């Protein structure tokens, strides 16, 4: 039964062959009924094979089209989220967090290492600010350690804008 995954793997590579098989079988199934003078009727024994090949290739093409559509939709959502993050209004806390992360963008902010007794904010408030920035696409939390926060590419751009604005004011 190893031949089935191998066949599917090779068919995924040979998309043009699958499209050609679909077009050929569709023509052999449909054209003799529409224009019998143009293409004679296929032998009756070919019927099940033609239908099977046509359905199989149509299913593969539908899967590929679905994958492409999903990929395009994900990219469009990511682009919209990124542009929203660049244009989003930030409050004072969000600006402070972005500015702090922008000072050393290669190092994540560890929420557990902050001394909240000496800080002007509580851990809960900071977690809420980080969640808001994450929703705007400016920061992301480490999926394996939720206390580590880093800037996204869009967040780096926004941090650079904030730093340039602050430099021009002084």
**Structural domain boundaries of the chain?**
3-80, 88-169
pTM of the model: 0.54
Strands of the sheet containing 148-151, edge to edge, are 109-110, 148-151, 139-141
* Both tokens assigned to 12: 């995924």
Q: Which residues contact 17 (CB under 8 A, 6 or more apart)?
A: 11
Give the pLDDT of residue 35: 87
Give the pLDDT of residue 85: 59
pLDDT for 27-74, tens place per residue?
Answer: 999 999 898 888 888 899 999 999 999 999 999 899 989 999 999 999
User: Which CATH number is 88-169's, of 1.10.486.10, 3.60.9.10, 3.20.19.10, 1.10.10.10?
Assistant: 1.10.10.10
Give the pLDDT of residue 120: 82
More confident residue, 36 or 81: 36
Element (H or E) spanning 131, and its range? Answer: helix 123-135
Alpha-carbon span 126 to 146, nearest angstrom: 13
Q: Which residues contact 167 (CB under 8 A, 6 or more apart)?
A: none
Give the pLDDT of residue 11: 66
Percent of the chain with pLDDT over 90: 31
């Amino acid at each position: 039964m190893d031949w089935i995954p191998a066949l599917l793997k090779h068919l995924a590579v040979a998309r043009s062959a699958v499209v050609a098989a679909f077009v050929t079988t569709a023509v052999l199934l449909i054209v003799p009924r529409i224009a019998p003078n143009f293409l004679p009727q296929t032998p009756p024994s070919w019927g099940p094979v033609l239908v099977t090949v046509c359905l199989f290739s149509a299913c593969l093409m539908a899967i590929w089209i679905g994958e492409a559509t999903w990929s395009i939709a994900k990219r469009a959502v990511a682009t919209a989220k990124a542009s929203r993050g660049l244009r989003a209004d930030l409050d004072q806390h969000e600006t402070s967090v972005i500015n702090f992360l922008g000072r050393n963008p290669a190092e994540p902010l560890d929420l557990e290492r902050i001394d909240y007794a000496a800080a002007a904010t509580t851990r809960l408030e900071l977690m809420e600010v980080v969640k808001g920035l994450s929703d705007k696409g400016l920061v992301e939390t480490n999926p394996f350690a939720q206390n580590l926060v880093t800037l996204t590419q869009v967040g780096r751009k926004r941090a650079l804008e904030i730093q340039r604005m602050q430099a021009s004011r002084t």
